[in-house]
Structure formats: C-alpha cells, structure tokens
Amino acid sequence: MAETSNLKKTNLSQQSSSNPALNNLLKKSKIYLDDKQIELIKDAYTFSNASHYGQLRKSGEPYINHPLSVASILADMKMDSASIIAAILHDVVEDTKTGKDDIEKRFGDEIARLVDGLTKIDNIKFLSQDEAQAENFSKMMLAMSDDLRVILVKLADRLHNMRTLDCLSKKKKTRIAKETLEIYVPIALRLGMNKLRLELEEISFKTINPLRYKIIVKSVQNHKGNKLKLLDEIKEKISVRLNELGIKAKIYSREKNSYSIYKKMKNKNLSFNAVFDIYGLRVVTSKIDNCYRIFGATHNLFKPVPGKFKDYIAIPKSNGYQALHTVLFGPNAIPIEVQIRTTQMDHFAESGIASHWQYKAGGHSSAQAYARDWLKKIIEMKRNTSNSLDFLENIKVDLFPDEIYVFTPKGDIKELPYRSSVIDYAYSIHSDVGNKCTAAKINGIDVPLSTMLSSGQTIEIITTQLGRPNASWLEFVVTAKARTNIKNYLKSIKSEQALDLGLRILDKSLHDYGTSFTEIPYASIKRLLKEYNLKDEKELFIGIGLGNIVPHLAAQNIAIKKSYVKQKYHDWLLKVLGTKRQEIIAIKGTEGLVLNYAKCCRPIPGDDIIGLTSSGNGFVVHRSVCRNIKKTSAKKINIEWSDEVSGEYQTQIRVYSEKQRGVLANVANVISRLSCNIENVKFDEVQNPYASFVFTIGVTSRKHLADVIKDLKKLKNVNKVMRTVG
C-alpha cells in the first residue's frame, strides 16, 4: 500500500514539473501577480491534480489540463489570484470525493464560495434535464449576484469546453452549442466581454451550421482583397486629415465575424452582397474630446449615411460599452462603418467587466456599476419567480442585446429592450406604476398601452387606484420584470376568484345532503383535508374553484362521514342524490379568470347555460344547446345567470346581404350605434350577387343582441340576420 502511495506522489511530482498547461499559466500570472500569489496557485494545482488523479477527459488527456486551461484564460484577462485558484479547483467538488469544507479549510472561505457557486447540484432529483439545467443556472446566477467573479470563471470554463468540443457526439455538441448561444453569449455581451463572446459565437455557429459557416467564411475571403484595398485608401485619407488637425490616433481595419453576418442576413432577409458592414474601421485616440473632433473630420471627408450615427459615449450601452458609430459613403458609394473610441474604451470593448476588475482595491468602475445594476434586476427577478424554469426563461428574455433609450417627463433616461411597449416602460419605473397603469402619452399624445416604443420618445404614464394588470398585456410585453409582475398578479387574483367560487359550489353541493358548510364539524373537514393532502380550507376551495377537485365527491366525503350522522341514514342520503334536483350556481360575470365562456357557442346572459369542469382553469360555460356538450366526459355543473350580471360578452351573428357598395359600412354603423364593440369581421362570399358576413360582437344580454338583429334587418340590401349556434 505504501509503495502505491509513493508511486502516486512520484507521478504527481513528474506531472507538475513537466505540465505545459501549468507552465503556461504560471508564465502569464507572473506578469502581474506577486510571488505569494504564485505560490498559492501552485498549491491549488497540487491539490486539484491530486484530487483528479487518474481522471481523463473524453479526448484522453489528463483531466487537470481543463481547469488549468480555464485558469489560463482568466490570466489573459489579468484576473485576480482568487479567480484563478477557483478556476483550478472548480471541478474538484463536483467530480471528486473532495467537499466544499475541504477547500474552505485549505484555501479559505472566499475561494470556497467561488467554487460552490460554480458547482452543479448533483444530489437533487429533478423531473427533467431542462429542470436540472434551470436549477443549476439559477444557482450560478444567484452566486454571481454575490460575487461577479463566479460568472467570469464560468464563461472561461465554457470557452475552453467549446474549444474542445470535437471529441463529443454530434448530438451533445449541438446541444452545448445551442445552450451557449442562448445563455452564455448574451451574458458575455451584457458584461462587455466582446473578445470572448465572438469566439463563443464562432464556435457555436460552426458546430450548429457547419455548411453555412463554410459558405460565409469562403465568401468573406473572396471579397477580402478588394475591400481591404478600399479600406486602406480610406484609412490613408483619414490619417492625413487627422495629422493636419494635430490629432493623434491609431486606425485599424475591422472584420465582422461569420455569425454576425449570418444573423444580419437572416434577420433582415439580405443576401451576402447586401451586408455592407462586413469590413469597417476603428479609430482609437487618447481623449473623449478627440473622438468628437475625429467624428467631424470624417464627415468632412466622406458623406455620412443619414440616420446611421450613434453616440454611445453620451449614452453608453447597458454593458458599459462606449464609442461613436457612423457609416460613411466611401469611394464608389460603398458604405463603410467607422467606430471612434478612446484607448480605455477600446480596452473595455474587448474584455468588458474583466478589464476593470478592482476587487482587491475595492474600487468601482463604470463597468462594475452597469453589471451590478443588472444583477439587482436578477435578484428581484428570482424573488418574484416561483420556479427555476420560469427564472431561466425570464433571464433569456432579459438578455436580448438590442436596446432603446426613452425619457421620463423629468428628462431622465430609461434603457429598455428593443420592441418594449408602454407597459414595459411603466414597470421599469416601479411595479406599482405598472400594476395601476391605465393610460399613457408619448410626446404629449395619447397612445394605447400596447404601443411599441422608439428611442428618443418622452413617455408619461397615467395611473389610477382602480388600475389592474390585464392578461392581454402578456401578448406585447418583452421585459422579464413586466412579465413576472403581470403573471404574479393574475395568479393571485385567479386564486381569490377560485376561492370565492369554490366555496359557493361546495356549499351548494352540500345542500344535496341536507346540510351546509357552516354546519359541518371541523373534525370532518380536517379529515377531508388530510385525504386530499391539503393544508387548509382555502386550498380546498381553490381546488374546487379551479376544477381540480370534484365538488360533489368532496361534499359526499364530508357529509356521510359527519360525526353526528348515524349509519342508518347513509342509504337514504345516497338515494336522495339520485332524485333530488341539484342546487344551481348563480353566475354574475365577475368571476374573471376561473370562469371561461366557450367560443364554440358563445353564451350570453339570458341563455340557458351549463358548466363543464376544466382542470386547472375553473369552469367553462356553454349554452345548453351546444353540440359539444354531448361529446365531452367532463363533470357538468348546473349553473344559471344571476339577476345582476355585469360585463360584456362576445357572440357571433351572420348577416346575409346583396353585394352592394356601402352595405358593410351600414351594418357596422348600426352595431356601433347600439353600443356594441366589433371584435372581428369575416367575409364569406355565398353566390353572386349575395354575400355573407360573420361579425363577432360584444353584447350585455340576449335582449341587447335581439335589438341589434332587429335594427340590422331593417337595413336596405340586408336579406337575413341570425345568431350562429355552436
């Protein structure tokens, strides 16, 4: 046994002295870290190498090379020693017998927390692979909210995994590449880590669409010669002009990566030749003042393309990126994009948050400020999201990179994702503003709440105490904050409505047994709750209101097991069930989300109706004559309209008329005059010279509908009007 142990130590020692990956890491680290920190890195290697001893990657190389390569990527970014050590140890807890406590004892609490934030949750049983991924991602994002270095190590880990994809199966490679594009690329973009993002995009695109990747790369190479000659000509002219003005600057050629070209071609339906910004110029100078002077100089030399100027210096992107962007008409009217920035801005554009890392000094760069603002949103998002799958979806929505900039009435700038609506803006101000929003103005003009916003607009939100979120808002909001708040409100209001309806239905069901809920001993209720595995009576009422619990079975369970009901009455009660008419539930129209009206027959107040249970969605109200009632096995509930019904209900009418000009307008005028909203119109040609129109309209009752039909029949050229039947 001793010989085996000594042999292991000898092998580890040989690996340490001859490991190229370790030597490469130490060479990079010695440039900016002190001797004490270098010794800690060596100690972390020794510990990790011993823990991973004997483990191999799919490629066949020793596993230790992976964490060393991840650490090397971080050393390229000049990250601190704690991040590099955490990278070396990041797979130890997950893939070996070593625990978090072991790391904490040897390397301290700071590094142990970093490693824990990166460790997957293997000891939890998940329902699916998606749920496992979502839970792991949720943990990582929350760990990141405590320490930004967690995500930087994770991004470096993902980059090295992408570089070594070739040894995996095609299915696994594709899955990892898609996950990278959906989650890790947008995170890198959010943190301003452009160089890392571009490499992740390139490898992912090459993996998912190898043929398209090859075609685009070849097309770029074929066009390269002529374009570079053109760029050199423009560079020379700009350089001469800047020298005349006494402005010092460096000018570089820039080439768009293949994935960015592919996205632009796909999103804007362009051919390769129509993508004008494949090549561009980057001008780097020392001062912000010079940026604006260079901008003016380039516009004097070449005519600018209207509407293509963007000032990201005055209004930085959400990830802290700053530069001036403009597009110029070069020789032969070929458009060329020019980016103008300072040296500091250029350095940040490549490495983002990593380039401004001041953790030990306790400083706060603008990049950190932007990142921490985003992390605050993540924490709030997690707090308001019920499960990890929803959290992951919200994060994906929030990571969309395109932004717009709008103004509050006081002149403050608000940044929102592209395609944001008025409601998104309202929720960005405050959750209460969004929840109570009833109207809005853009640049002083009244607009619908669904209006899509554009940069430069000034938005004013009007709120009232009676304002409430609407389920239809979910169709046009894009921000995670708006979506989460609306869903939470609808969920709470649905529970309240289900609670009220469920109690009424259960009490009516108990009447069949000659009792009511108020007369039932609590022991019987408690026994029922235990049988259904419910916490309290509220859960029972909500379950019935949502259609998840059959009310008559629950009523039977309670009544027959009542402590004061004697055995001799049981048969009598069961007999009564078959002969006694069920009590009828009165529908007021205020039940909201737990009561749905069938679109097949579109019931309105005054119709004979019946209710069908719909698991999880309460009850669906049908007309008694609806043919679909006979086709379903759902539990039927006897219902009727209350004497006091509120609201508007959709129904359909078919209008047969002669095909004459103005008929449709006349019909619409009558419907509008009688205070009906027209929700939809469908035209069906019957046979010349006759036509048929189907109108979906909103009415308050059968009488209201009868008045509409009566007045329509009086119109000239209208032959017949009838209500459609389900």
| Boundaries of every domain in the chain | 14-208, 221-355, 369-484, 485-643, 649-723
DSSP β-bridge partners for residue 326: 338
Residue 593 has a pLDDT of 57
> Regarding the domain delimited by 649-723, which CATH topology (the fold level of the hierarchy) does it fall under?
Alpha-Beta Plaits (3.30.70)
Quote the CA–CA distance of 517 and 509 in Å, as a whole number: 9
| Residue that has been written with the tokens 């669906």 in this structure | 620
Residue 544 has a pLDDT of 77
Q: Angle CA(56)–CA(58)–CA(59) in degrees, nearest 5?
A: 90
- 3-state DSSP percent of the chain in helix, strand and coil, to 5: 55, 15, 30
Angstrom CA distances, 452 to 2, 230, 299, 437, 511, stand at 73, 40, 32, 16, 53
Residue 445 φ then ψ, to 5°? -110, 135
For residue 621, give the nearest of 597, 599, 639, 600 by alpha carbon. 597
Residue 359 has a pLDDT of 37
Residue 294 has a pLDDT of 95
Structure tokens that stand for 673 in this block: 């005059």
Residue 267 has a pLDDT of 77
Quote the CA–CA distance of 4 and 86 in Å, as a whole number: 29
Question: CATH assignment of 14-208, given 3.40.50.300, 1.10.600.10, 3.40.50.2000, 1.10.3210.10?
Answer: 1.10.3210.10
Residue 627 has a pLDDT of 84
Structure tokens that stand for 225 in this block: 């010669």
Give the end-to-end CA distance of the chain in Å, rounded to a whole number: 83
| Residue that has been written with the tokens 């309806």 in this structure | 501
Question: Catalytic residue numbers?
Answer: 94-95
Structure tokens that stand for 350 in this block: 């490549």
Ranges of residues in the chain with a pLDDT under 70 are 1-18, 120-146, 355-389, 391-402, 512-513, 517-518, 552, 559-584, 588-594, 614-618, 633, 685-688, 726
How many other C-beta atoms are found inside a 10 Å radius of the C-beta of residue 402? 9
Quote the CA–CA distance of 606 and 654 in Å, as a whole number: 20
DSSP β-bridge partners for residue 585: 639
Quote the CA–CA distance of 429 and 461 in Å, as a whole number: 10
Q: Is CATH 3.40.1390.20 what the domain over 369-484 is classified as, yes or no?
A: no
CATH number of this structure's domain 221-355: 3.30.460.10
| Contact call for residues 149 and 114 (beta carbons, < 8 A) | yes
Please give the torsion angle defined by the CA atoms of residues 224, 225, 230 and 235, in that order, rounded to the nearest 10 degrees. 80
Angstrom CA distances, 243 to 238, 286, 337, 353, 477, stand at 9, 14, 21, 33, 50
**Is residue 625 classed exposed, middle or buried when 0-12, 13-18 and 19+ CB atoms within 10 A define those classes?**
middle
For residue 73, give the nearest of 185, 164, 196 by alpha carbon. 196
Quote the CA–CA distance of 640 and 606 in Å, as a whole number: 9
Residue 537 has a pLDDT of 79
Residue 581 has a pLDDT of 38
DSSP β-bridge partners for residue 284: 250, 341
